[in-house]
Amino acid sequence: MTGFFRDGCCRTGRGDVGVHVVCALMTAEFLEYSKSRGNDLSTPRPEYQFPGLKEGDRWCLCASRWKDALTAGKAPPVILEATHESALEFIDLADLREHAAT
């Protein structure tokens, strides 16, 4: 279900204003941070067929949200192989590598 197009891929295209290209492994700390910034990803939203995210889920984040979380010290780990190369327009490769999931 993850990805802007809900096809399991962190790719972007027309209509994806948020540029959902960073494949991240959700952490409780990041989910709380995102909620505090007005983007509650953990609460289920059945009207959108969204079950809510929990720690350990993979999710395609907006590149700018991941970078904001990085600045705040709350960036979740990144699945490099599943992150779209267009993330590099917003985020340094060194930062992505430093936060690569193991």
The per-residue pLDDT for range 57-68, each reduced to its tens digit, is 999 999 999 999
pTM: 0.90
pLDDT at residue 89 is higher than 70: yes
Nearest to 69 by CA among 45, 101, 44, 99: 99
Mention every residue, 6+ apart, whose C-beta is less than 8 A from residue 21. Answer: 10, 11, 12, 60, 62, 63, 83, 84, 86, 87
Nearest to 77 by CA among 27, 31, 8, 20: 27
Q: Which band of pLDDT confidence, cut at 50, 70 and 90, is reported for residue 92?
A: very high
pLDDT for 1: 52
Q: Which band of pLDDT confidence, cut at 50, 70 and 90, is reported for residue 99?
A: very high
